[in-house]
């Protein structure tokens, strides 16, 4: 008379259906995999504040700016006047540092006049600063002077061998210019970038002409390119390794990966020998033959077969020495056991 609890609990499979479509609907649909979310995108313009300075991204706020246009933007230092290096472009979130600061407006003729006036005032400020440095007898070299567009800050860039106590100098400058004074000590590479000059190649410094930022350069790059390791020959005017050592580094690495390593034991059409020199861009391998150390021949990489690398030769030699060291001991123990 009364239904049991188990009977009242009908499953979806046991429930009656009125038609085929209801039967299909009663079957659980497979869970759909979540589609990967598309990365957020932002419209930006790239602005630089010096001829070869770093490019910073800004939010154009609906303005359409072309390359080499001038714009007034908001920065951490205040209102600045910059030049458009990258016109309006859409980039993903990974390419920007949020939040983006806005472009206030396209520069007007009045803005251009203010910018030129600031440049004139910077030259006067540099002369006054040099006089004050001499008055305070500070061991520092003034490199550059820069006004912010709204004259809210005056920056002096200098180099020095060590730390400089310029507190009194700042007070003197602040009393003259009646604005916020900031002194920044920069490195020798930054100084060279600001001043400019001609390199050993006879062309203007790369850092002054087109490099946006400095890249890491190592002595390994000079070795891979078979250049002289004399520091005077591979160093720039700044005294650091020349930036141009980096330009072909990736190509040399790619070509060196196709060649046998130095000191590898190889087989050639003329016999076996050791690799003594590589010419990566030409794919040439120079081999010194084992029998005659004065005999060196050049081969294309396809004519050379590697028998063992320097590391494998070293491991084989260590294993041989280890076995030879064990053999006398084992022979001695064997002899003692027989006696």
User: What pLDDT, on a 0 to 100 scale, did the predictor assign at position 333?
Assistant: 57
Strand order from edge to edge, sheet including 141-147:
141-147, 153-159, 180-185
Q: How far, CA to CA in Å, does 234 sit from each of 193, 214, 253?
A: 18, 16, 19
- Cis peptide preceding 99, ω within 30 of 0: yes
User: Is the separation of the CB atoms in 242 and 214 below 8 Å?
Assistant: no
Asked if residue 71 lies in contact with residue 64, where contact means CB atoms within 8 angstroms, the answer is no
Residue with tokens 């714009």: 71
Q: What is the mean pLDDT of residues 282-296?
A: 83
Beta bridge partners of 83: 48, 70
Mean pLDDT of 111-133: 95
What pLDDT score was predicted for residue 209? 87
* pLDDT tens sequence across 186-226: 999 999 988 889 998 899 999 988 888 888 899 999 988 88
Residues 85-102, mean pLDDT to the nearest whole number: 91
- pLDDT tier for residue 322 given thresholds of 50, 70 and 90: confident
The larger pLDDT score, comparing residue 303 to residue 13, is at 303
Q: Is the pLDDT confidence value at 335 over 90?
A: no
Q: What is the 3-state secondary structure (H, E, C) of the chain?
A: CCCCHHHHCCCCCCCCCCCHHHHHHHCCCCCCCCCCCCCCEEEEEEEECCCCCCCEEEECCCCCCCCCCEEEEEECCEEEEEEEEEEEEEEEHHHCCCCCCEEEEECCHHHHHHHHHHHHHHHHHHHHHHHHHHHCCCCCEEEEEEECCCCCEEEEEEECCCCCCCHHHHHHHHHHHCCEEEEEECCHHHHHHHHCCECCCCCECHHHHCCCCCCCCCHHHHHHCCCCCCHHHHECCCCCECHHHHCCHHHHHHHHCCCCCCCCEEEECCEEEEEEEEECCCCEEEEEECCCCCCEEEEEHHHCEEEECHHHHHHHHHHHHHHHHHHHHHHHHHHHHHC
pTM listed for this prediction: 0.68
Greater confidence, 9 or 213? 213
Q: What was the pLDDT predicted at 39?
A: 80
Per-residue pLDDT tens for 24-82?
Answer: 444 444 445 555 677 889 999 999 998 878 899 999 999 999 999 999 999 988 899 99
Which tokens go with 160? 């020095």
What confidence score (pLDDT) does residue 95 get?
87
Q: What pLDDT, on a 0 to 100 scale, did the predictor assign at position 1?
A: 40
pLDDT (0 to 100) of residue 11: 43
Q: Exposure of 103 by Cβ count < 10 A (0-12 exposed, 13-18 middle, 19+ buried)?
A: buried
Q: Which residue has the tokens 């190889």?
A: 266
User: What is the CB neighbour count within 10 angstroms for residue 210?
Assistant: 10
Q: What is the mean pLDDT of residues 122-133?
A: 95
Find the mean pLDDT for residues 281-291: 87
Whole-number average pLDDT of the chain: 84
- Pseudo-torsion of CA 196, 239, 202, 282, nearest 10°? -130
pLDDT digits (tens, 9 = 90+) for 242-262: 999 999 899 999 999 999 988
Show the tokens assigned to 190.
């930054």
pLDDT tier for residue 320 given thresholds of 50, 70 and 90: confident
């Amino acid at each position: 008379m009364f239904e049991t609890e188990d009977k009242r609990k009908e499953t979806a499979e046991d429930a009656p259906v009125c038609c085929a479509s209801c039967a299909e609907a009663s079957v659980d649909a497979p869970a759909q995999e979540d589609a990967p979310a598309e990365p957020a995108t932002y419209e930006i313009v790239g602005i630089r504040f010096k001829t070869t300075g770093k490019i910073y991204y800004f939010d154009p706020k609906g303005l359409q700016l072309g390359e080499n246009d001038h714009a007034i933007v908001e920065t951490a230092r205040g209102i600045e006047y910059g030049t458009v290096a990258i016109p309006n472009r859409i980039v993903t979130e990974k390419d920007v540092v949020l939040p983006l600061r806005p472009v206030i407006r396209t520069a007007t003729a009045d803005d251009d006049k203010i910018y030129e006036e600031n440049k004139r005032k910077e030259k006067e400020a540099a002369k006054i600063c040099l006089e004050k440095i001499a008055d305070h007898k500070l061991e520092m070299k003034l490199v550059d002077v820069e006004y912010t567009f709204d004259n809210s800050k005056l920056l002096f860039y200098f180099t020095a061998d060590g730390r400089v106590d310029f507190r009194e100098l700042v007070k003197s400058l602040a009393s003259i210019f009646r604005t916020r004074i900031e002194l920044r000590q920069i490195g020798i590479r930054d100084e060279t970038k600001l001043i400019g000059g001609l390199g050993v190649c006879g062309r203007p410094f790369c850092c002054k002409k087109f490099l946006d930022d400095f890249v890491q350069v190592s002595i390994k790059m000079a070795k891979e390119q078979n250049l002289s390791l004399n520091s005077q020959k591979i160093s720039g005017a700044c005294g650091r390794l020349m930036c141009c050592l980096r330009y072909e580094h990736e190509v040399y690495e790619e070509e060196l990966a196709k060649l046998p390593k130095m000191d590898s034991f190889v087989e050639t059409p003329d016999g076996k020998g050791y690799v003594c020199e590589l010419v990566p861009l030409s794919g040439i391998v120079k081999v010194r033959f084992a029998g005659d150390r004065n005999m060196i021949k050049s081969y294309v990489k396809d004519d050379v077969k590697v028998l063992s690398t320097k590391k494998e030769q070293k491991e084989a030699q260590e294993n041989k020495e280890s076995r030879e060291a064990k053999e006398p001991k084992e022979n001695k123990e064997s002899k003692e056991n027989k006696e």
